[in-house]
Copies of this chain bind each other. A is one copy, B any other.
């Protein structure tokens, strides 16, 4: 049996101190209208009685929520988990609340969550879109409601939006250049859909590098698909069926690289022995554990922090709205510890 205490409200405090509830409200917020002595009295009593403001009432009344909505396609992947943590940390430091929702790579869920967050009257929305997002009307809607919008890492193809991304094109270019300089000629790219920046740009980087070094692109070795393990798995099987295997693969994400790994393992093909793989992703985890893949590292900490910072700036300067774009550099991490590992 739980005895349920009624939460204490402003009015209760007001009665006990024989002042109006507005005085209490102002005192608790440190408003200069209220004298030092009463402010102290109010705060002391509030503390004593364990007063907790009713956030809903406060937000309703003040017409702002101090809350930023965050919509991501996945949680249970290193890259997103790290980004989310960074966003939460940055928000905490700036006294903002985060409401996180997860679309699970499904556009309808994304849409539903965005509506839900708008219903909560969030001050802004940080979004990393799903692989299947093509209907962009929802984003127009967000903006038309005066809710700030910052895209994080995954950005839809539309004008006048703010975003924090990495330089995908250069990242991909570097990864391919590395491979070419190492002497590989049979190079594949298991890539992402082109309706989304990371799919498009990574492919472009791949193509530019191939073109620069005059390596012919073999169309069977270039795929366009989703970002999950399953997608990588299937893509590799497709390539395998055709017979001729590449020596090097640039995978669009870490889960895709995992899928490739699994598919290859099933066929008795060794990674990185027979095929070397580089993928985009965060290298901040497990950084000392020997890796089977090279990484085009994306600083999740920086991505998350910058997105929050940009968002708060935009919230605080509602009138001069200029879409901002921040593009962070990537860094190629080679899994050279592989040799060490085998030597152990």
Contact = CB atoms under 8 A, between A and B. Distances in A.
Interface of A: 1-5, 7, 50, 52-57, 59-60, 65, 74-78, 80-82, 84-85, 88-89, 92, 97-102, 104, 109, 115-116, 118-121, 141, 143-146, 258, 261-262, 265, 270, 273, 285-286, 288-289, 292, 321, 342, 344
Contacts of A56: 56-57, 59-60, 65, 120-121
Given A76-B84, A258-B289, 19 more contacts: A2-B143, A2-B146, A5-B146, A7-B145, A50-B141, A52-B115, A52-B118, A53-B119, A54-B121, A75-B84, A75-B85, A76-B82, A78-B78, A78-B81, A85-B102, A89-B104, A92-B109, A97-B116, A258-B288
Contacts of A116: 55, 97
Nearest to A288: B262
A57 B61 CA distance: 9
Contacts of A3: 144
B50 A54 contact: no
A118 B7 CA distance: 10
A312 to B, nearest CB: 17
